[in-house]
Structure 1
Amino acid sequence: MSPIGSPFDDLSDTWRFALLGGLASIPFTAYGYWQTGSEMSFAPVFFGAILAGFVAKRKTGTARGVGVRTGLVGGLPGLWVAADILSATSGLAGPSWFVASGFVLALGAALLVVLLSAGIAALVGKVGASVGGGLAGSTGPRRPPAASS
């Protein structure tokens, strides 16, 4: 008999909060890309990371590690940009060596776009989580002020 539980029970708190912020930002990131057709905005990732950093700081006392993970999850729509690049190779015509080399170049461009997109999303997530953690304030015990002489 298997226990009934949430699939998120085995996740660490860091991943739970990162998924909260990242999954909350994906629809807005995807919608922004769909509206423009070519531009990727990471503003929703920033706000999702603020949310994740705020909640993580309130619940665990630290927002460390949440931002990069939130950025990576929230930046997943960047894969659509790579898919668009690869789909453009279907229109290539000419000799087979030309089509093959065009596909290899497009594959390299798609890989570069994915790496850059993930890096930028992780950086934006880290900054957002820092802002969210700062907004949450300190949840630890307050130190008494130093006595002045």
Structure 2
Amino acid sequence: MSRIGPSLDRLGDRWRYALVGGLASVPFTAASYWQTGSELSVSPVFFGGLLAGYLAQRATGDRSGVGARAGLVGALPALWMLTDVLLATSALAGPAWFVAAGTAFTVLMGGVFALLCLALTALVGAVGGRVGGWLAGVVGPRRPPAAGS
């Protein structure tokens, strides 16, 4: 039987664990934004990166790149903030040239804002991934002592 649509089997190990950590952080990031209405908390992204780094280190022995990818996935609620900014543009009034310039400026700055949010969450996720990988080494299975020790 053939499969229709994407499969997690086709993804590499890094993306598989990044999706687990990133998607685990999305509800908490969205809830923090929904509660405040204007602020985005990146602590859920840190813990999502931590989870991704921990799982990747335990399963594959390599955590590189997993935390940053989890941070990018966890940044999806930050893009909702962009719609709020663009909706504020509809309240502009004045001459046509002013509304056009204001809309263009808002779209440009919205893009810059989105890139900065993605970079920040990737950085926070990468830090979380490193901490998670370190934790996997600390609390991982202990090797039995060598004979004669």
Q: Which residue of 1 aligns with 2:107?
A: 107
- Identity among equivalent pairs (%): 58
Aligned counterparts of 1:4 and 1:100: Cα–Cα separation in 2: 44
Q: Which residue of 2 aligns with 1:40?
A: 40
Q: Which residue of 2 aligns with 1:31?
A: 31
Q: Quick check: 1:81–1:113 contact (8 Å CA) kept in 2?
A: no
Query: For residue 67 of structure 2, what is the amino acid of its counterpart?
Result: G
Q: Please, what is the CA RMSD of the aligned residues?
A: 2.3
Query: For residue 17 of structure 2, what is the amino acid of its counterpart?
Result: F
What secondary structure does 2:69 align onto?
A: helix
Q: CA deviation at 1:7?
A: 1.6
The runs of at least 4 aligned residues of structure 1 exceeding 3 Å deviation read 3-6
Return the TM-score normalized by structure 2: 0.89
Return the TM-score normalized by structure 1: 0.89
1:97 and 2:97 aligned: yes
Q: Which residue of 2 aligns with 1:75?
A: 75
Quickly say closer, same or farther: Cα 1:6–1:101, change in 2 above 3 A. closer
Quickly say closer, same or farther: Cα 1:83–1:131, change in 2 above 3 A. same
What residue ranges of structure 1 are gaps of 5+ in the alignment?
145-149
The alignment of Structure 1 onto Structure 2 pairs a total of residues equal to 144
What residue ranges of structure 2 are gaps of 5+ in the alignment?
none
Within 5 Å, give how 1:12-31 maps onto structure 2: 12-31=12-31
Aligned counterparts of 2:6 and 2:107: Cα–Cα separation in 1: 38
